[in-house]
Structure 1
Amino acid sequence: MHSRIFAALWAVFAIMAACACIGGAAHAASHASPSGLAYVVRYTGDADPRILGLLKQVSKAESLVQSPPDSALLLERRADEDKTAFAKVFQSEGYFAAVITVDLDQGVSPAVLTYAIKAGPRFALSKVTLAVPPDQPGRDAELPTPEAIGLPVPEPFLAKAVVDAEARITDILHRQARPYAKIAKRQVTANFANHDVTVVWTVDPGPRAAFGPLRFSGLTSIKEAYLAAQVPWREGQPYDADLVARYRKTLVGLDLFTMVQVEPAGELDASGRAPILVKVIERKHRTIKGGVNYKTDEGPGANLSWENRNLFGGGEKLSLAATGSAIEQLGEITFEKPDFLAPKNLFTAKGKVADENKKAYKGKNAQATAMVRRHFTDTFTAGAGVGYRASYIEKDESRPWEDGTRYGFVFLPVEASYDTRKDLLDPQQGIMASLACAPYWGAVGNGPNFVRPEFSVANYFKLLEKPGLVLATRVIGGANIGASRNDVSPDLRFYAGGSGSIRGYPYQTVGPLRGKTPVGGGSLFTFSAELRWRITELIGIVPFLDGGSAFKNALAPYDQPILLGAGLGVRVYTPVGPVRLDVATPVTPRKDIDDIAQFYFSIGQSF
């Protein structure tokens, strides 16, 4: 039976391949080599390989080699345009005396277009001058030194360094409370006798200024008062470009705009204050997202979410989310209110319900929490709140004689996080650390009282820029302290194994077992390491190692062995984040429990 199926598949592939070959041949026949003067491009001389690569990038003859011109005259015109472009490339690299000659040999087929290059000496940057004209206001400005703008002398001349330095000049003056500073003139002079270059900037520092009134442009549904509350300066305070940049970053981080500009506008008022104009373009505030995933041990899954990021005009966010798989269905609603009672405070109310059918237990639970978090810095937040959790455990594999038990807990979560990542979907650099602790009080029946601390630390270190090579590591831990494992409801115990934990092992099976059935633990420790190698802009590969276990006891001694899982993943990079396919195998497989491999497919990095 199987042999007939494979034979049929091979027949289909063979027919498709034959059709492709016939179609390709017909296509090639209908597009015979184009008419015109066919040619190849060659380079001779002493050009540096890096510069030679730049020449090929700007060459019209190179880019149009598959579109031959109708005559030698038209090809020579391409070569003349190339000579002009080549001269600009050499000058930008400091080779002001470079000579390019062109030769076209039509005695062979295809014709040979040769660029003979004599780069000549590389000119040195010998002097950098910044000056304010005598009659110009702002002569008291502290002009930066050449070293401060990245142009130490003598150094080989590089045009890009000069352009970058010019931007630094105005940046430095802006930080001196001079918002209208600008470059009036730039003069670059090459001395062919000495083979050196001098650069002179005429600078208009402009007057010193203070922050003036704030004006907004482009708002349609967002309240000005909400954005004004985010301003990090006071009106009348000396102008500070760093504060302006920070404010813009804050507005961009609100996820409410597609464009944000913050800049001085108009002239100073009589008291020397500069009005600040905030120009924005609001993005659509409602978003619907969906995704699918597949895991060998959990089966197929899907998720769907909707959110409104500007519910009442003050950046309030309401989101609804649902996820489903063969073992769990979850619904969640979240409301967030920024600047709650004070700037930088975020109020969050969340409710969720779940129906779970897992190996360790089968049941339903609902949870509601309310928290206030404060952003102390751009990277550090902390908060506290109150919550209630209710569970109905239809079947408990650890205590089958107590099936049908109800649990209820009041808890007080306290959390802190430190996050320096730049890209949340595909982190390249930075740290994400979180610490949470919550005392739980049993509110139904003889529910236990315990304290639940949890932590997670992930680090991302970029080893190489090109090709992109990132070492990502993560450690997770937690415990239920003050109650025995069996007294805690099964849906609050700790489990390890599966996607997001220890890949290569079936879901929740790394830890205490009754036969082959997981019963959960009183504590948890897992770790992961990935080497994320981005081979091309589209494709990457990721070898990884996971390890750890859930343990029966909350505190030492621990009786469970540490298990390791290893594997290899593929990443396909898309605008919405990487699509991941991981294949993992247990390093120390357990008889009749572990398979040779587990497969995981989803959107986003594993952590």
Structure 2
Amino acid sequence: MAFGSKIGNRPLRKRVGRIDRGSRRRRVRNGVRAVWVFALAGAGFVPAIAHAQMGDAKPGQGAPAQPLPQPAPTGSIVRPPVVDPQTPIVPDAIFDQSLPKLSEDINAPLEPLQSFDKPKTPAATTATAAKPEPAAPSAAEGQAFAPLGSVPAEMEAPLPSLAEFKVDPAAAPVDDDSENAPAIRYTTAVTGLDKLRLEDRFEDLSALFQGKGKAANAAMVAARAREDEKLALRLMRSLGYYDGTATSLIEQTPPNSGSVRATIAVTPGTLYRLGTVRIESGATVPPGLLDRELNLNPGDPIQADRVLGAEANVSLRLPQQGYPFVEVGQRDILLDDATHTGDYTLPVTLGPRASFGSVQTAGARQVFDVDHINIFRRYREGAIYDSRKVDDLRQALIATGLFSTVAVEPKRTGEAGPDGTEKVDLLVTQLAGKPRTLAGELGYSTGQGIKLQASWTHRNLFPPEGALTVSSILGTQEQALTTTFRRSNAGMRDRTLLVIASLNHADYDAFESYTTTLSARISRDSTPIWQKRWTYYYGAELVGSNEDRYNFNLGKRDRGTWLIAAIPTFLGYDTSDDLLNPTRGYRIKANASAETSVRGSVRPYARTMVEVDGYYPVASNIVLAGRARFGSINGVSRDELPPSRRYYSGGGGSVRGFGYQELGPRSPDGRAVGGRSFNEFGIEARYRFGNYGIVPFLDAGQVYEGVMPTGRNLRFGAGIGGRLYTNFGPLRIDVATPIARKKNESKIALYISIGQAF
């Protein structure tokens, strides 16, 4: 908020000199007398005023009146009469007698002119009684005013009634952008704001700059310049320059060219600083809490953002330290023009120091009872009130996705708490939202073809937070049907129980499989609303799969059925700033799964994988992102592994430029066979402008038959991508090509999906 004559909503008061009412009264009286002198002269009493004194001689004490000068004959030289400078032209007695009677009350309103009597010619004095009154000289001779002619009838007619006047305002001029509309061009110059570094802010708000150098006429340019004067004053006052001035000048450059130059000249004046800083409030625990959180000190410039930020900090920080009902009043700043300082006063109503009580619920359509809400709490009853804990509870409730609206507010109880505090309950007001969700996703990538995913979810079919999801995949190379039961916050906040049953058919170049899966896991996951630093899961998995493979012992492809039991685990650490579109930080992920495959005999083995992603902003709109991923399978030969449990590389989420699962060893029929280890690397430069982005990238990777990745024979893919940033994440389109392409490899690979590659 800019500081003008007010800071916030409180007026700034400036000390001014006291006005002397007696002096004013004298000035008013002398002014009235002077007016009547000229009025008498106009009425013929004084044809020409050579000298006049007012207020020096008392009535009756002036010198005798001198004879009025006689008009000279036509053509003769007129010499002015010799007049004594000390002698008044009209004696004071005659002058005072000619004046209308005025009210004795100096503050009374002036009487209307119609009530005054027309002045009469005073009786001749002894010196002029014997002489006849001279004839009035003609207007041609310049000795008197010409007589008034006849008054027009319109002037003597009565004024019309006010009701007959049209009071509708004139229509505002309409901007006309047509080619025939009269317009002028103008340029704008601003001086003086550069010292305060306000030029950019002024240009953003300026009426002249927003006009883009075009106006219908010069009057419009002048009106914009006047608005910019006020703007410059507001901007200066927002930085503490309350004596600043701003003037505008409109001129044609060059003259008569139709081109106008508008100049706004600014003089900041002297910077005002805080004099005294005083907070009107009760005592706090600990002492000095308000002074520390306000952090305004004598000598600080009186800047709008500095003052408002300090007051906002009080409103924010006091509820975090036991004062949920604190109220910051209206500030008062008294400016002193002499010292260029302002004395600052802020009233603050603290309210009681509070501690946490119990949870209460309200609402027509409630989702959770008190017992389930208590699972979300990260505080204990009796602890000092902290608004951050309340915000955390509110966020956790919102993250469930079950509410249309939910509010968490402190409520006074009047009950005494520990350490002299008052217990404060939290009132959770609930309004249930629609529990069902229908979602869909469409993607395409080279090697996987088109993939359409659809899902139906009831988020609270088994209260509390027992969700059922039925999803399907329809694609050119994959079809699946999956049913998922999910219990969120299962007995503990952020703990999830997941049970999955699925049927899947996959037909890729590497293998074709029909798979049935039944799995269960307990996890702690991140969501777009509630991103967590540590995530994990552990569980059990039972898989039955019928797959084809290339049998190197037989030298041909055959099919087989495997029964696979696994205990998968995962641990992740995430410091990134966003789940779907990170711009800084890093992520570390580690997977380990103890598995056993049964096909005639039991063959136990272990699958492991580690991934590290990093994000570094090199500029405000450019992010450098990198990824490294490694995997290994120990305890079994490659040919004894089911093809679906081997490692593959290539594709939109792996090494772009290659088809899905295209890298690595190949069978004699030219199809990928997978391996027991792999490594992948990727680097991107994510350039964003508005809601769009361009991403050049380089990926590398390889799959190996051995247990450990060697890093030899890396294959590279390069390309460029486009991004459309939406409120649910970026829409990604990547085009890539292999470097040093080999026979039968993809020439161009295209990937369309939601979310960044990593």
Same fold (TM over 0.5): yes
Q: Which residue of 1 aligns with 2:88?
A: none
1:458 and 2:604 equivalent? no
Q: Deviations over 1:262-312 (max 9, x none)?
A: 332356445511232334555433222223222233333322223233333
Indicate if the aligned counterparts of 1:472 and 1:532 stay in contact, CA closer than 8 A.
yes
Mapping for residues 47-446 of structure 1, pairs under 5 Å: 47-48=193-194, 51-63=198-210, 68=215, 72=219, 76-105=222-251, 112=260, 114-121=262-269, 123=271, 125-126=273-274, 129-133=277-281, 136=282, 138=284, 141-145=287-291, 157-195=302-340, 199-218=344-363, 220=365, 222-225=367-370, 226-257=372-403, 260-266=406-412, 268-269=414-415, 271=417, 272-279=422-429, 282-374=432-524, 378-396=532-550, 401=556, 403-446=558-601
SS in 2 for 1:185: coil
One-letter identity of the residue aligned with 2:351 = G
Structure 1 residue 521: deviation in Å? 0.3
Q: 1:301 to 1:277 in 2, by over 3 A?
A: same
Counterpart in the other structure of 1:7? none
Shift of residue 581 of structure 1?
1.8
Are the counterparts in 1 of residues 272 and 341 from structure 2 also a CA contact under 8 Å? yes
Aligned-residue sequence identity (percent) comes to: 26
Mapped to 2, the partners of 1:441 and 1:215 lie a distance apart of 51
Instruction: State the shift of 1:405 in Å.
Output: 0.5
1:520 is aligned to 674
Determine the C-alpha separation between the residues in 2 that align with 1:542 and 1:109: 50
Q: CA 1:474/1:156 → structure 2, altered by over 3 Å: closer, same or farther?
A: farther
**Alignment partners' CA distance in 1, 2:177 and 2:332:** 52
Q: Aligned pair in 2 of structure 1 residues 300, 167: CA closer, same or farther (>3 Å)? A: same
**RMSD, aligned α-carbons:** 3.2
* Aligned counterpart for 1:574 among listed residues 714, 726, 732: 726
Unaligned stretches of 5+ residues in structure 2: 1-175
1:593 aligns to 2:711 (yes or no): no
Deviations 1:329-381 (A, max 9, x none): 23333221123244442111122222111111112112121111257994213
Please tell me whether the aligned partners of residues 687 and 693 of structure 2 are also in contact (alpha carbons under 8 angstroms).
yes
Distance 1:128 1:300 in 2: 71
Q: Which amino acid aligns with 2:303?
A: L
2:684 is aligned, of 527, 530, 537, to 530
What is the CA-CA distance between 1:477 and the residue it aligns to?
A: 2.2
Taking a change above 3 Å as real, the CA distance of residues 518 and 40 of structure 1, as seen in their structure-2 partners, is: same
Larger radius of gyration: 2
Equivalents in 2 of 1:539, 1:333: separation in Å?
36
| Aligned residues of 1:103 and 1:115 also touching (Cα < 8 A) | yes
Q: Distance in 2 between matches of 1:52 and 1:259?
A: 43
Provide the rounded CA distance (Å) in 2 between the counterparts of 1:255 and 1:294: 29
CA distance, structure 1, for counterparts of residue 306 and residue 599 of structure 2: 70
| SS of 1:513 mapped into structure 2 | coil
Structure 2 counterpart SS, 1:445? coil
- Contact 2:241/2:271 (CA < 8 Å) preserved in 1? yes
Distance 1:322 1:560, change over 3 A: farther
One-letter amino acid matched to 1:235: E
- Measured at CA, do residues 137 and 264 of structure 1 come closer, stay the same or move farther in structure 2, by a change above 3 Å? farther
Corresponding residue to 2:663 among 510, 514, 517: 510
Q: What does residue 14 of structure 1 align with?
A: none
Aligned length: 569
Query: Does 1:564 pair with 2:720?
Result: no
Q: Partners of 1:596 and 1:189 in 2: how far apart?
A: 75
Distance 2:702 2:298 in 1: 60
Partner of 1:13: none
Letter of the 1:544 counterpart: F
CA distance in 1, matches of 2:474, 2:718: 27
CA distance in 1, matches of 2:268, 2:583: 41
Contact 1:209 1:268 in 2 (8 A): no
2:376 counterpart SS class: coil
Please give the secondary structure, in 2, of the residue aligned with 1:251.
helix
Q: Does 1:604 align with 2:749?
A: no
Please state whether the residue corresponding to 1:586 is helix, strand or coil.
strand
370-379 or 538-547, which deviates more = 370-379
**Pair 240,139 (structure 1): closer, same or farther in 2 beyond 3 Å:** closer
Give the Cα–Cα distance (whole angstroms) in 1 for the partners of residues 260 and 711 of structure 2: 77
Note closer, same or farther for the CA distance 1:93–1:315 as it changes in structure 2 (3 Å cut).
farther
1:221 deviation in Å? Answer: 5.1
Structure ranking higher in strand proportion: 1
Cα shift readout 1:49-78 (whole Å, capped 9, x = no counterpart): 952232233234544569956883x66555
Assess if the C-alpha contact under 8 Å between 2:236 and 2:268 holds in 1. Answer: no
Distance 1:109 1:212 in 2: 77
Shift of the alpha carbon at 1:223?
A: 1.6
Distance 1:392 1:401 in 2: 17
2:633 to 480, 486, 491: 480
Give the TM-score normalised by the residue count of structure 1.
0.84
1:293–1:302 Cα contact (<8 Å) kept:
yes
Aligned counterparts of 2:184 and 2:550: Cα–Cα separation in 1? 79
CA shift for structure 1 position 241: 2.2
User: Could you tell me how far 1:498 is from its partner in structure 2?
Assistant: 1.6
Post-superposition shift, 1:543?
1.6
**Greater Cα shift, 546-555 or 261-270:** 261-270
Amino acid corresponding to residue 306 of structure 1 in structure 2: W
8 Å Cα contact 1:397-1:517 kept in structure 2: no
User: Deviation per CA, 1:166-221, whole angstroms, max 9, x where unpaired?
Assistant: 12123332232111122123234555545555544332232211113323445625
Q: Does 1:493 align with 2:641?
A: no
Q: Any idea what SS the aligned residue of 2:329 has?
A: strand
Letter of the structure 2 residue corresponding to residue 319 of structure 1: T
How far does residue 231 in structure 1 lie from its aligned partner after superposition? Answer: 1.5
